[in-house]
């Protein structure tokens, strides 16, 4: 068994960031640093939340950006501390102010995806 880290969380780089984010109705992106303790603590929770949300219809994608490698992206979104989480709606960034554990992330994102003025 190869235990590849092929999790559900999307890894974004400057090459695919705009493609992915601009096409998503809503997506949560975590800007992290590999050495950051809070990020390490969040990682498994984030992955579990991503799994949970990927089963929804429509699924809510969760992505992460290694801000130490993708410095252009980190600069673009004024990422100064880690982890920084941002919600993107059709490419527009909004601050994520929810909890940082599995159920909190899931609930918050479901709420966010369902909220907003219903057009009609």
| CATH number for the domain harbouring residue 57 | 3.40.30.10
Query: Is 1 a domain residue?
Result: no
Q: Is 36 considered catalytic here? A: yes
Q: Flag whether pLDDT at 52 surpasses 70.
A: yes
> Percent of the chain at pLDDT above 90?
88
38 catalytic, yes or no?
yes
Using pLDDT thresholds of 50, 70 and 90, give the confidence band for residue 7.
confident
The per-residue pLDDT for 114 is 85
Residue among 38, 81, 91, 116 flagged as catalytic: 38
According to DSSP, the residues that pair with 62 across neighbouring strands are 28
Rounded Cα distance, 99 and 24, in Å = 22
Q: Is residue 7 among the annotated active site residues?
A: no
Residue range of the domain that includes 38? 10-107
pLDDT over threshold 60, residue 61 = yes
Q: Of 1, 37, 114, 120, which one is the catalytic site residue?
A: 37
Determine, yes or no, domain membership for 2. Answer: no
Terminal alpha carbon distance of the chain: 50
Question: Exactly one of 1, 4, 7, 36 is catalytic; which is it?
Answer: 36
| pLDDT at 47 > cutoff 80 | yes
4 falls within a domain: no
Q: CA–CA separation, 94 vs 26, rounded Å?
A: 10
Active site residue 39: yes
Closest CA to 72 of 13, 4, 7, 118: 13
């Amino acid at each position: 068994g190869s235990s590849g880290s092929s999790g559900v969380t999307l890894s974004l780089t400057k090459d695919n960031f705009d493609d992915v984010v601009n096409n998503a109705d809503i997506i949560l992106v975590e800007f992290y640093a590999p050495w950051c303790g809070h990020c390490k603590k969040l990682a498994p929770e984030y992955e579990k939340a991503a799994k949970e949300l990927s089963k929804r219809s429509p699924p809510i994608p969760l992505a992460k950006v290694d801000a130490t490698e993708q410095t252009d992206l980190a600069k673009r979104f004024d990422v100064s501390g880690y982890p920084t989480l941002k919600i993107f709606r059709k490419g527009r960034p909004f601050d994520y102010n929810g909890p940082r554990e599995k159920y909190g992330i899931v609930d918050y994102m479901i709420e966010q995806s369902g909220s907003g003025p219903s057009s009609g």
